[in-house]
Amino acid sequence: MDMQTWRNGREQAVNAAEAIRAALATLGVPESTWSGIRPTVTHNGHPYVHMGMLPAQAVEQIAEALRLPSAP
Domain extent listing, the chain: 3-67
Band (pLDDT 50/70/90 cuts) for residue 1 is confident
User: How confident is the model at residue 71, as a pLDDT?
Assistant: 60
| Amino acid making up residue 53 | M
In whole angstroms, give the CA distance from residue 27 to residue 21. Answer: 10
Other CB atoms within 10 A of residue 15 CB: 12
Entry pTM: 0.84
Band (pLDDT 50/70/90 cuts) for residue 68 is confident
Distance between terminal CA atoms of the chain?
42
Whole-number average pLDDT of the chain: 92
In whole angstroms, give the CA distance from residue 62 to residue 72. Answer: 21
Summarised one tens digit per residue, pLDDT across range 3-33 is 999 999 999 999 999 999 999 999 899 999 8
